[in-house]
Structure 1
């Protein structure tokens, strides 16, 4: 695939406006995490206060994700995203104002974070259902890779810029910039012109749509098993790397060494998107399961040999595996799932992925006290390998193939019709 072919999605006006909105949105979001954390710590310098604010966003995000997917499939997704960005912009503007004026209290930030998490539960599945609607099958891989490249670059530069703003003018201004990016993103999304897709299969309620979506995911045969594997792996990763990683680094390579090591992940993510342009994925679920094991490389080093440069390499490899894994999943969903079910399937994946993170973060402390920090790291690595082996042992996962745009079967052959039994799944 040539560079010109890789950039071809940008010639599609609707995708171009959607992509610009995503770039602006990600630029702001990549700054907001650091800014909000320091804003909280300036009000109450305690991990408990910061944990409350973070949890206030996580809980509704997980609780409402499945319903959010049904809502995103029920309404025009571009409209849903515009509305979510505007609400997020208003909420973040209120947060920024409270922080800048010095009147912010922890309960204010907890309440506003709850709203943010609720909105994200709707915007996440809506966003992940957009590319197959905006682009032809031949252009979708390039579209996914463009989004992946921009996200990787922004997540390298965003935290750096946020840190500078926090150190010079304060976290409130960084939050104000994030609020502005939501409004700009909504403006770009308002330029996306798509006809309202009829939904003849739409149920009388959002709950009914969710039930149909869950039934369809079970019929496919690979969605639930793959999402369960993701649940276990994300629980392991959030605890062993997100919590124990900095703890180990503090006693060994220091915060500076840890920051350098973790930056290798974003670089690996970006480099992989350049290589993936020329690679065709045929067995996506095999790629995903192997990707889980490869992404566990930092766990092995944290449990054995903590060296800054070795960890940079391990995180680089993990970032590259994450990029391959993400592309494999996106290509699978866009080929095997009909347009009217996209957001619900992505919401199921998102629910399983996000619900696991606080589980890992909570359990890792007691487990470390019982087995030692290094023991937990090595145990997490071993279980990650087990997750791969279990996933590959499931026929519906291991045997799934991508046929590509040219050879793609009819919708009736590609996936079971909504409400019909999946004969292939029964056979396995």
Structure 2
């Protein structure tokens, strides 16, 4: 069986495919096993960094201001390179981009470990490394998204995106931070950075031994590299703006992140405390159940065939999945709030699995890196604005009103997007069913 866009067969025999449950079928492809391992290791490393850097800042006598600068440097590096990363992913070897990105992260984390061990570590060093990590991720994620269709059969793309939806909360939000915390408690923060460097080095090794897919979708051009890169980026924007289903979906996505992202990130701990549902432990449990909902939603969606009305189902699941947020501003029982977060995580993560699959199946391979980076850039841009606005909004209207708005607005915009972008007609004109 051929692998979607590549025409290369590195899968196991066809009968073996049917022995695997649908969510696990991508693992029958050797190159995907290596690619998924590299992704999982990278996510674990990012989760470990989030914990290790906090305690390392404390260990060198720095404080919240320095930690804020470190987080800002990472975010700026990521946002600044997200669009360029998409252009490069469509012009160069995506496998090599992932390899270099993971190697850069390993070197950065390793330099922190060495400097900390020698008592030479400074906040400036951590800020510089955080910027490197952000830049590396700006190149890594578009390259990864564009490489998946080249190593996974088309019928298994939904399952592959489901696997990513499971790995992200499991490794980045649970296993990675937990491992870093254990290392720090037994040894020192510097040992956590040794482990971070090791996992990124392993991710680079997995990518290095993965066979390069045979693709013919490069867009590299002769002439001035800056001008050609700008031309490629302009072509990506032109494709986006002339493709109604992308315009409609990304417009909805901006609204979703802007309206719902900030309340969960900023207001949830205050809602739990002020409404008598508990304290820090209750907040941690609520976040864990939110992540568990995402895992269940991703697994469930990856086990099902792609819906015939895939655009409508996706937007309605995203929008409808926000309705439980209304409970967070009113409930005074932790169990009810946890149930609402679980349902929200399950529905929105399931919709995210569909979205990743649509990008990989409907966007031309030569354009996939740029469109993936544009999607990434939109989400990155809206999230900080949401967190900046949600505090003043809560002070003006109250937490309950803000969560109510976060519950109602996304579904309203989803219905409008389906109607105005004529998505119901579009999904019938471009059927993607038939995966088995």
Q: Is the 8 A contact 1:73 1:343 kept in 2?
A: yes
Counterpart for residue 256 of structure 1: 281
Equivalent residues of 1:128, 1:343 under 8 A apart: yes
**2:338 is aligned with 1:312:** yes
Q: Is the 8 A contact 2:260 2:407 kept in 1?
A: no
Structure 1, 266-275 or 348-357: larger mean CA deviation: 266-275
2:27·2:33 contact (CA, 8 Å) conserved in 1? yes
Indicate if the aligned counterparts of 1:236 and 1:360 stay in contact, CA closer than 8 A: yes
- Deviation of residue 241 (structure 1)? 0.9
Distance change (3 Å), C-alpha of 1:123 and 1:217:
same
Range that drifts further, 55-64 or 38-47: 38-47
Aligned partner of 2:308 among 282, 307, 314: 282
| Alignment counterpart, residue 269 of structure 1, candidates 281, 294, 303 | 294
Look up the match of 2:242: 219
User: 1:375 and 1:80, CA in 2 relative to 1: closer, same or farther beyond 3 A?
Assistant: same
1:388 aligns with 2:414: yes
CA contact (8 A) 2:78 2:137 kept: yes
TM-score of the aligned structures, taking structure 2 as reference length: 0.86
Residues 227-267 of structure 1 deviation map (CA, whole Å, 9 limit, x = unaligned) = 22212211233311111112333443111001111111221
Cα distance, 1:128 vs structure 2 = 0.8
1:137 partnered with 2:154: yes
Question: Using a 3 Å threshold, how does the CA distance of structure 1 residues 39 and 307 change in structure 2: closer, same or farther?
Answer: farther
Output aligned runs, 1:163-312, within 5 Å.
163-195=181-213, 197-199=215-217, 201-204=219-222, 205-251=228-274, 252=276, 253-276=278-301, 277-297=303-323, 299-312=325-338
Give the Cα separation in 1 of the matches to 2:260 and 2:68: 18
Matched, 1:126 2:143: yes
Partner of 2:114: 97
Deviation at residue 161 of structure 1 after TM alignment: 2.5
Shift of 1:324: 1.2
Normalized against structure 1, the TM-score is what? Answer: 0.87
- The answer (yes or no) to whether the contact 1:65–1:348 under 8 Å persists in 2 is yes
Aligned equivalents of 1:270 and 1:344: distance in 2?
27
Structure 1 position 196, deviation (Å): 5.6
Are 2:271 and 2:329, in contact at CA under 8 Å, matched by a contact in 1? no
- CA offsets 1:180-233 (integer angstroms, 9 cap, x no match): 111101101112212563457544422111111111122222223312221221
Which SS does the other structure have where 2:426 is aligned? Answer: coil
Decide whether aligned partners of structure 1 residues 284 and 5 sit closer, same or farther in structure 2, where only a CA change above 3 A counts. closer
Match of 2:6 in 1: none
Moved over 6 A (4+): none
